[in-house]
Amino acid sequence: MKALFPWLALWKRHKWLMLLGVILAIITLLASIGLLTLSGWFLSASAVVGTAGLYSFNYMLPAAGVRAAAILRTAGRYFERLVSHEATFRVLEHLRVFTFSKLLPLSPAGLQQFRQGDVLNRVVADVDTLDHLYLRVISPLIGALVVILVVTYGLSWLDLHLALTLGGIMLLTLLVMPPAFYRAGKQNGEQLTALRGLYRQRLTTWVQSQAELSLFGANARYREELDETEYAWHEAQRRQAGLTALSQALMLLAGATAVVVMLWLAAGGVGGDTSPGALIALFVFCALAAFEALAPVTGAFQHLGQVTASAVRIGQLTEQQPVVNFSAASATQPAQGELSINQVSFSYPGQHQQALTDISLQISPGERIALLGQTGCGKSTLLQILTRAWDPQSGEIHIGNTQLCHLDESALRASMSVVPQRIHLFSATLRDNLLLASPGASDQQISAVLEQVSLQKLLEGEGLNQWLGEGGRQLSGGELRRIGLARALLHDASILLLDEPTEGLDAQTEHHILDLIHRVTQGKTVLMVTHRLSGLANFDKIIVMDNGRIIEQGTHAELLEQMGRYAQFCQR
């Protein structure tokens, strides 16, 4: 339950809208009770007086009361749903924005411990589950308490003993059944939340890995694991439905008991009158209607286990501290192209071996550097340090005259353009895929950049309105690399970081991409990570890394003369 307190505090900004929803729910419940109670008494009284009451019994006033209660119940129900759902959606919007605001500073380093499907399930399904707290717990509980007080007070004008008896039965039901079903459904609710997350995580993995699973004949085994998880999830849902049915049955039994007790006691007299007549029907129908108002409460507390488990799962995300913090008092202007790395060392959390050890590197503005080494030597880690996905444990990095940690995030992003190893193609138009790098770019600028990177053929036909990605045109590996380079050029930063820009390409395409990089990056500081030797002779300096250290550096000719590691690579 403690896990819910931080989320309750977030709902304060919508408290008046939520309070209005609760008030309308109470009015609706009281109108429904009044309608059934008054209707039962009116019909019974009319039957008792018979035709003799045509001149002595007031039919108009009770009939008007019944009509007014019916209208009030209908209007109250409509506006209660309108206001309650509006409040719920606003709270849900607030929760999502809050969750994302906590989540974004964690990316990418702070989210590596979570799998993609798990993060998606927490952000979507678990946040959605939190809205049950208002609609299914808070509002019904407050409404039930107010109904008990109002019904007891109203009936006390007719007979205090009967009113207290009915109120006592209702209050006892409210105090016993919800906690009992909360305990009964808590563990199952937690299992439901966990199994839902596990199923969606495995489903995401299964869908994304279809090619590999089919090629290696492992599809059936993975599908069996998915089916087992789904079966366990359905079993948990079945147990939850069983508890819901049991709670409804017990509530019906309690309501029927109250009706019988009211009928028995009222038959002996109401308010000192030993022949109460139609007042018996009033108490009986009031008890029947009042327990209908209590019906949602017992079932609601079964969902509290799910709500609490979801709050815990979201808290595991939002309560994390960002690995990298940008100071609000940092420099806000983009830094220039000079890059200085001094004695930088870094190791990933939980890893004893250092990924980078005493890395020192000086890069002048406009200089082109190739970072060469085998897989796992620390090349990509160095790029992550430069983009502040991680901060080093020791050492300093300067861009121009500004230390990297003294740049705010917008200034850092404006200082660098990054072409990652895997270019993500969004399911959107060609224009939207490129405006990602420069939202203010005109169509003429986008077209010019596409021509620069030899993608002018994409401008044919629908041009920039052409749909790419899912449901649209698919691009080859070389075209994807050019799209990534086009984004970097539109971003127009002084430093360009390239992570394996020719990985997975054939020799001819690799040659074209490298020529393209040298042609379009004139005047920019370029740092390219690679483990291939093609085109390195055109770089101003080549840095060779091994086991997180720089072991050689120099031009292509200088390194060949040293007969060191680079020369060995070239000989192979």
Residue 40 and residue 284 in contact, taking contact as beta carbons nearer than 8 Å: yes
For the residues 437-449, what does the mean pLDDT come to? 89
Instruction: Output the CA angle 28-32-33, nearest 5 degrees.
Output: 120
Residue 290: name the closest of 32, 21, 22 by CA.
32
Residues 372 and 409 occupy one common structural domain: yes
For residues 25 and 99, give the distance between their C-alpha atoms in angstroms, rounded to a whole number: 29
Q: What's the confidence (pLDDT) of residue 178?
A: 83
Q: Which residues pair with 119 in a beta bridge?
A: none
Sign (positive/negative) of CA torsion 231, 235, 240, 244? positive
Q: Residue 50 is which amino acid? A: G
Q: How far apart are CA 126 and CA 123, in angstroms?
A: 6
In-domain check, residue 202: yes
Which of 380, 467, 462 lies closest to 422 in space, CA to CA? 380
**Residue at 327 is within a domain:** no
Residues 275 and 355 in one domain: no
The pLDDT value given to residue 51:
66
**Exposed/middle/buried for residue 566 (C-beta within 10 Å: 0-12, 13-18, 19+):** buried
Q: What is the DSSP letter of 542?
A: E
Most confident of 171-185, 308-322, 510-524: 171-185
pLDDT of residue 55: 66
Q: Are 255 and 263 in contact (CB under 8 A)?
A: no
Structural contact between residues 70 and 327, judged by C-beta atoms closer than 8 angstroms: no
Q: Residue 305 pLDDT more than 90?
A: no
Most confident of 79-83, 268-272, 513-517, 533-537: 79-83
For residues 228 and 370, membership in a common domain is answered with: no
pLDDT (0 to 100) of residue 71:
94
Strand-pair category, 394-399 with 541-546: unpaired
- Taking only Cα atoms into account, the Rg of the chain, rounded to an integer number of angstroms, comes to 35
168 and 298, same domain (yes or no): yes
Where among 286, 318, 350 does a domain terminate?
318
Distance CA 323, CA 459 (A): 42
Residues 6 or more apart whose CB falls under 8 angstroms from that of 169 comprise 254, 257, 258, 261
* Mean pLDDT confidence for 330-341: 69
Q: Within a domain: residue 325?
A: no
Where do we find the tokens 């003799």?
A: 52
Assess if residue 328 is contained within a domain: no
Strand partners, 529: 371, 499
Q: Are residues 22 and 142 in the same domain?
A: yes
Q: Kindly report, residue by residue over 410-420, the tens digit of the pLDDT.
A: 888 888 888 88
Q: Could you tell me if residue 563 is inside a domain?
A: yes
In degrees and rounded to multiples of 5, residue 154 shows phi and psi of -65, -45
For Cα atoms 106, 1, 27, give the angle at the middle one, nearest 5 degrees.
110
What is the sign, positive or negative, of the torsion defined by CA atoms of 251, 255, 256, 258?
positive
Other C-beta atoms within 10 Å of 219: how many?
A: 15
pLDDT at 326: 78
* Residues 126, 170 within the same domain: yes
**pLDDT level of residue 52 (50, 70, 90 thresholds):** low
Q: Are strands 525-530 and 368-372 parallel, antiparallel or unpaired?
A: parallel
The strand pairing partners of 146, in sequence order, are: none
Check whether residue 300 and residue 372 sit in a common domain: no
Class of residue 253 by CB neighbours under 10 A (exposed 0-12, middle 13-18, buried 19+): exposed
Write the pLDDT tens digit of every residue in 445-504. 989 888 888 888 888 888 888 888 877 788 888 888 888 888 988 888 888 898 888 777
The band of 116, judged by pLDDT with boundaries at 50, 70 and 90, is low
Domain boundary pick from 318, 351, 376: 318
Inform me whether the pLDDT recorded for 25 exceeds 80: yes
131-173 per-position pLDDT tens digit:
777 777 888 888 889 999 999 999 898 889 999 999 999 999 8
Determine the pLDDT at residue 520.
79
Q: What length does the chain have?
A: 572
330 in a structural domain: no
Separation of alpha carbons 256 and 260, rounded Å:
6
Which H or E element spans position 83?
helix 60-103
Which residues have CB under 8 Å from 60's CB, separation 6+? Answer: none
pLDDT above 60 for 216: yes
Contact 498, 417 (CB under 8 A): no
Q: Are 217 and 233 in contact (CB under 8 A)?
A: no
The CA–CA distances, whole Å, from 324 to 388, 390, 437 equal 7, 6, 23
Per the domain annotation, does 515 fall within a domain?
A: yes
Q: How many domains does the chain have?
A: 2
Pair (312, 449) in one structural domain: no
Predicted pLDDT at 20: 92
Question: At 96, which CATH number?
Answer: 1.20.1560.10
User: What is the C-alpha separation between 457 and 552, in angstroms, rounded?
Assistant: 42
The token duo for 38 is 């008054």
Kindly state whether residues 313 and 404 are assigned to the same domain: no
Is residue 463 domain-shared with residue 356, that is, in the same domain?
yes
CATH number for position 487: 3.40.50.300
Residues 308/384, Cβ–Cβ less than 8 Å: no
Q: How far apart are CA 356 and CA 378, in angstroms?
A: 6
Residue 398 resides in a domain = yes
Same domain as 243, residue 135: yes
**Structure tokens of 308?**
């609490």
Task: Mark which of 289, 318, 347 sits at the end of a domain.
Answer: 318
Which residue range is the domain that position 517 belongs to? 339-571
Q: Is 224 exposed, middle or buried (0-12, 13-18, 19+ CB in 10 A)?
A: exposed
Confidence band for 335, pLDDT divided at 50, 70 and 90: low
User: From edge to edge, which strands make up the β-sheet containing 541-546?
Assistant: 416-419, 495-499, 525-530, 368-372, 541-546, 549-554
Shared domain for 498 and 532, answered yes or no, is yes
Q: What share of the chain is helix, strand, coil (3-state, %, to 5)?
A: 65, 10, 25
Q: Which residue is associated with the tokens 């992570």?
A: 499
Cα–Cα–Cα angle for 370, 376, 381, nearest 5°? 65
For the chain, the average pLDDT equals 84
